[in-house]
Every structure is written in C-alpha cells, then in structure tokens.
Structure 1
Amino acid sequence: MRRHRTAVGILLAVGALLTGGLVQAGAAEAAPVATPSGPSAAAHTASATEQHRARAFWTAERMRGATPLDLLLTEQAAKTLKSPEPHGSPTTVAPTPALASFPQAGGPWTGGGAVVTTSGRVFFTFQGRTASCTGNAVTSQNASTVVTAGHCVKYQGSWHTNWVFVPAYNNGNAPYGQWTAARTLTTPQWEASEDINYDVGAAVVAPLNGKTLTSVVGAQGIQFNGGYNKPMYSFGFPAAAPYDGTKLIYCGGNSSKDFLFTQDHSLGCNMTGGSSGGPWFTGFDEATGTGLQVSVNSFGYSFLPNWMFGPYFGDVVKALYDKARTS
C-alpha cells in the first residue's frame, strides 16, 4: 500500500503543535499579523568562491540523486513519524490530466507558457547531504530574484550551502543553466523561531554568462495582501513517491484559509517532498502560463492527507521581497 507523503512542513507543523509553536486554533480566523518592528529580512551572502563551488558541485548525477528535504528530515524524526519509502524505490507517476482540468489534485503540467521556464528545482546541501526544493523567478528590480520556502534556504539554525536554481529542470538537464545564489534571505520570524506562518525564503542569483535570470527565463508577478478563498494554481517538482522529480506538477482548485492552526492558504493537492517552495498563483492564465504569485508550497498535516498549505503573503513577506529585489 502506497503511503502518502506531504511537504516538508509536516514535520514543522507536528513539532510546533507539540510545543505550542503554532497559533491557537481560536486565532485562526484573525487577520494576518502586521509587520512587526525590526529587521525586514534575515540574509546570508555567499562569497564568489562559494558560488563557484556550488556551480561546479551540481552535476547531472547529483541533481538526479538529490533527496527531497522533507525525506531527510523524516529520517531524523523516524522515532515519531512514519519512515518514508526508500529513496529510489519504484514509483508510479500520476496519469497526465487534461490541461484545463479544474480542480486538479496533482498531475504533470502539459501546457506551455511562462510557468515552464520561471519555475525550477532548487538544489542545495543540508548537513552534508544533497537536497532539493522548488522555486520561482519573480519580477524584480535586480532581475535576479527567486522566491521559495524559508526551509529551502535555512533550517535548524543553518543556511543551506551550494544553493542553485535550475529553471525548467528536466531529468538532470538544465536547459537554462544553473543559477547560483549570491544571497539567500528569509523572514525574521522564520529566522528567529521557524514560525510556519512565515515559511518564505528568497534568493538573489548571480548573473550567468553576463545575463540576469529573468532576462533569460522571464518572471511572474507577485501580489501581497490579496485575501483568501480564491481559485489558485500551485506548481512544484515533487520528488517523493508517486512522483520522481523529473516533471513540473500542478494542482488547481478553490483555495481556502487553513481552518486548523495557522493563517495560511490551503488547497487540495497531492504533491510530495521536493515541491516545497513551489509557487501558488492567483489570476493564473493557462494559455500564457502567467499569474500573480501569492504563496509557496510549505507544509501539510499528517492527519489531513492530500492537502497542501502555503503562507499568506502579507506585509512581512513584502518586506522580504523588497529587500531581495533591491539587493
């Protein structure tokens, strides 16, 4: 019997629930918390040497062998959570749906458009092991900004190393190159206590062959304080069964506000580990593959399978974005 795996934040959500780290259920209907005073974002800068090392590190073989971050964390928490299926075990990829299928709980994106090139896999080293997430290129002043999940740039007190973004990743191939992070950033709340409501990260990638990222792959718009309960599309590169990390997968449906513990968006979706950090869009046009990004794949609850949750893009995330786009 195939066991369902949710995004990496299942570990974060369960752990926070046990320690009281999530907002109380009675506060779930409150408006998103306003930006607190203090720093707009936490940031880590990679030296030129570190960037060069990251670019050389990620061979096609290493990219194919990278483990979704949540599976690595599941191994650490094996005493309290179900163990994942062995990495590399046979998988069955969900059948390809009709492009306009809506709602869609999860299947390969068979359309074209901008989302094919703005979305990509994120690769990095976590505690000496190769790991993966998803990211998305957004419009920015520096033309070099990628938005992802907070745990995809920093986790357990350490910034990830060898961080690269591979737009339009295709089974070990990088058709638009590997873009190394010159700087990675996250929200102050994620930096301080790994608050699941603010599990958002960003990267400013270095130019490649004299060109900036979005001049090569394009960019998606981004929206803040856009509200809840809207039709949304979510994208990612899930690499845990039943997926294998080789295809861009999407979910689509009417989103709602998390009715359990957080202030986040929720969407029916069966994407698995590796999809963390993938973009959520409102106003998405299937014909052009464009929309306004309003969240990222963040976490799921172990007791609520086939649902994905993503943080609300409010003032805190806008401050993070503003710092990244001008870096």
Structure 2
Amino acid sequence: MNLFRLRPGPTVGLRLGLTLAASGALLLAGGAPADAAPGATSRTGEWTAPGDDGWSDADVLGFWTPGRISAATDPGRPDADGVPTGTPGPPAAVPGMPSAEHFSGISSVGVLFTSAGADPTTGELRAHKCSASVVESGGRDLILTAGHCAGGRAVFVPQYRSRSELADQPFGFYRVTDWYVDDQYVRNSKGAVSDLDYAFARVAAAPDGRSVQDAVGANHLVRTPGYRQDVTMLGYPRVGRNPADQPVRCAARSGPLSGFRQMRVECAGMWGGVSGGPWFSDVDWDAGTGEIIGNVGGFYGGGMDVPESDPRYHQITYSPVYGDRFFRLYADALNGRRPHYGSYRQLQP
C-alpha cells in the first residue's frame, strides 16, 4: 500500500455538511457522517486530481469574493428523513452529556475553503468545509485534517473570522499545494480502513510571505495513549447549525468505538463541519497551541450513519487512534515521500 500525494483538483466530499452564510461560514464535522465525494476515486479511495494549474493568491482573492462566499453551495449529504439540514438552533441540553460551546477560537486552528473546476476563477462554489490545525514541521508549512477532507483546490484560513473578507483575516490565508493521505483509506468508509481517516497538507506562504507556523505557531502531535482520555475537541460547525459562525469546543471523556481502532466521544452540538478538527489532550488557550492526540474523523467520516433528524447525529463523534502508521505518514509528509506500507491490519494502540 502506498502513501500518495495529491495536488489541488476537484473538490471532495466530507463528513460535514458544507455551507456558507452571507457572512461566510465554517464547518464542523462531529456527529454527522460525511457526504460522498464528487470526484473520481479508485476502489482503494485514491483520488484523481490534476496538478497545480496556476492557482495563485490573486486567484484566491478574485474567486472568494464576499458575494461568492454568501452564494456558495452546500454539498452536504441529504437528510434521509427529509428534514432540512440547514435548520438553525443550538442543541437541547442532554442530562449528563457535555455540550459544545461557542468561543473566539485559537490561532492554530481554522477552516478549509474549496472550489471546483479546472479554471481557478470560475466553477462550482464550495463553502468552508472542514476544520484543520497547524502542526510542527521543519518547513513550517504543514496542517492536519481528516482523510475525507483531503483533495481539491483548497485554502486554509487560521482562526477564521466570518465578518472579515479573505484579505483581512487576522492571520492571512494559505493555499494548499500538496496532500498526504494513506492510500488504503476509503473516503467515508464504514470498514476497518476508516481507522486511517487523517491527512496532512502542505501550504504555501501567505501573500505577505509569512509561513503559517510563523504566523500562528504549531501544535505538537502525540501518540494516542489509549482509548479513554480527557480530550477537548475543536471545530467550526456549518452555518446552518451555527448562525453565529463561530468555532466551538467541547471537553469530554473519550472511550473506545467497538470493533475499530478509534475513540468515541459523546458531546451535544458537534454538527457537520468539524471534520478534521483536532482533539487536544492539552491546550494553552493563550498561546493558541497544544498537544493533539486525534482528529474528528473515522467511521463514516467521524459519526454515526443516521439522518440529521436523529439526535445522535450531533451527539456522537469519532477520531482515529494515532499509532505507528499515523506517525509514518507524518514523517512522509514532513519529507515529501511516498513510501509503500502494505495492507492495513487493525492493531491495538
């Protein structure tokens, strides 16, 4: 099995429902499964993506105008019960279960915007679709997200502010130039390979020349100590479920997802859009960085295979366990390598 590298191409689907409100939007993928990818895939989930075809900072600014942001389509999955997926409103409190809370966010965590089509100045619009975090790298240019979020012509915006235009974001914006995904992963899989739902991306410097790590700092990746951990999840819910268009966080205790090498957390309010968002074992809120032991993702993109009208949709969220295979991918992303790992076998952490 080989680890493969993707360059910007057609937009891919993800467990989060994507949507942008007039002010712009963020997605959070917690308890909801990802939608199917519109791009071509092989049976192993290897995405076909064209090379970098001149997608520049100027193209990004020219494409993501306030008008386009407000008109962006929502490629989120349809609801089986016919209930509109964009119905706003916070989740009702659940006795004995923590709930996600809105806050101002931290500098090292942000969102991914994408567009589809061969021409970087036209094509199908995509709302910010996934969450991502900056991780330590020698090139100071690496971010972490979910495997089902990988692919497409993407832009990372740290600590996104919906009321600011793209050119006026507090920490700038960063074009994705390469994707690194385990090629045994199958997007939105319900099988064992859903354990591999993590990905890295290399990003270009901001228009002012700063690297993303110089601008916002970087998080430290840590091997998952075990299934039962105290974690804080971070992400950006889609605007339909997040009218304030702010990130959320939830501190909770994880447990095992039976039959998988994944963690499971119960927390109300983890709507589609937080996919790829980090699970912190420790975080310095003032510095805006911490230690990451997981990310929203896993079985069916990180949540139960239920319609959005089912309360479990936003109450149950998954994360892969970080072990040897994850850190091999991390090392390969750091060095731009494409090794062959062999087929995936589930092992205990």
Report the TM-score, using the length of structure 1 for normalisation: 0.72
Quick check: 1:179 aligned with 2:185?
A: no
Is the Cα contact below 8 Å between 2:32 and 2:272 reproduced in 1? no
Cα distance in 1, alignment partners of residues 85 and 199 from structure 2: 28
Match of 1:18 in 2: none
Aligned to 2:62: 56
Query: CA offsets per residue over residues 140-172 of structure 1, 9 Å max, x none?
Result: 11111110111111xxxxx322x0000010115
| Among 67, 71, 75, the residue aligned to 1:72 | 75
Structure 2: runs of 5 or more not aligned? 1-16, 18-27, 37-42, 118-123, 337-349
1:169 to 2:160 alignment: yes
SS in structure 1 of the partner of residue 215 of structure 2: helix
Deviates more, 1:137-146 or 1:244-253: 244-253
Give the letter aligned to residue 265 of structure 1.
Answer: M
Aligned equivalent of 2:148, options 138, 148, 151:
151
Tell me how far apart the structure 2 counterparts of residues 193 and 7 of structure 1 sit (CA, whole Å): 12
Mapping 1:219-258, distance limit 5 Å: 219-244=218-243, 246-258=245-257
Give 1:7 shift. Answer: 3.4
**Residue 122 in 1 paired to residue 112 in 2?**
yes
Is the 2:179–2:200 Cα contact (8 Å) retained in structure 1? yes
After TM superposition, where is structure 1 displaced by more than 6 Å over at least 4 residues in a row?
Answer: 41-45
String of CA shifts for 1:30-76, please: whole Å, max 9, x gaps.
Answer: xxxxxxxxxxx999685261244345322244345545xxx62413x
Q: Residues 317, 246 of structure 1: CA spacing in aligned structure 2 closer, same or farther, 3 A cutoff?
A: same
Match of 1:196 among 181, 194, 197: 194
Distance 2:214 2:140 in 1: 7
Once residues 51 and 166 of structure 1 are traced to their aligned partners in structure 2, the CA distance between those partners, rounded to angstroms, is 15
Whether contact under 8 Å (2:34, 2:188) holds in the other structure is no
Q: 1:300 to 1:144 in 2, by over 3 A?
A: same
Q: Which sections of structure 1, spanning at least 5 residues, go unmatched? A: 15-20, 22-40, 96-101, 154-158
* CA distance in 1 between partners of 2:182 and 2:157 (Å): 23
Report the secondary structure of 1:105's partner residue.
coil
Paired with 1:212 and 1:117, the residues of 2 have a C-alpha distance of 13
Letter in 1 for 2:126: T
Tell me: CA distance 1:142–1:51, structure 2 relative to 1, closer, same or farther (3 Å). Answer: same
Matched, 1:137 2:131: no
CA deviations 1:119-158 (Å, max 9, x no partner) are 11111135834131111111111111110111111xxxxx
C-alpha displacement of 1:108: 0.9
SS state at 2:156 partner: strand
Distance 1:148 1:61 in 2: 27
Distance of aligned partners of 1:242 and 1:11 in 2 relative to their CA distance in 1, 3 Å threshold? closer
Indicate yes or no: 2:329 matched with 1:320: yes
Select the residue among 21, 29, 35 that pairs with 1:7. Answer: 29
Mean CA deviation greater in 170-179 or 231-240 = 170-179
Q: Which moved more, 1:274-283 or 1:290-299?
A: 290-299
* Residue matched to 2:99: 105
Alpha-carbon distance in 2 for matches of 1:198, 1:245: 32
Change (3 A) 1:186 1:126: farther
Deviations 1:160-217 (A, max 9, x none): 22x0000010115222111100112212222589532111122110012222111011
Number of aligned residue pairs: give it.
Answer: 272
User: 1:280 is matched by which residue type in structure 2?
Assistant: W
Among 266, 269, 278, the alignment partner of 1:268 is: 266
* Residue identity matched to 1:264: Q
Matched residue type, 1:324: A
Letter in 1 for 2:54: T
**SS of residue paired to 1:294:** strand
**More displaced stretch, 210-219 vs 191-200:** 191-200
Distance in 2 of aligned mates of 1:141 and 1:106: 34
Aligned pair in 2 of structure 1 residues 107, 82: CA closer, same or farther (>3 Å)?
Answer: same
- The worse-fitting range, judged by mean Cα deviation, of 298-307 and 190-199 is 190-199
Corresponding position of 1:291: 290
Identity of aligned residues (%): 23
Measure how far apart 1:92 and its partner are.
Answer: 3.0
Q: 2:31–2:317: 8 Å Cα contact kept in structure 1?
A: no
Instruction: Provide the alpha-carbon RMSD of the alignment.
Output: 3.4
* Cα distance, 1:9–1:201 mapped onto 2, change above 3 Å: farther
Alignment-mate amino acid for residue 162 of structure 2:
N
1:98 maps to: none
- Structure 2 counterpart of 1:25: none
Q: Please, which moves more after superposition, 194-203 or 45-54? A: 45-54
Greater helix fraction, Structure 1 or Structure 2: 1
When residues 63 and 251 of structure 1 are mapped into structure 2, their CA distance, relative to the original with a 3 A threshold, is farther
**Residue pair 1:121, 1:134 contacting (<8 A) in 2 also:** yes
Is the contact made by 1:51 and 1:182 (CA closer than 8 Å) also made in structure 2? no
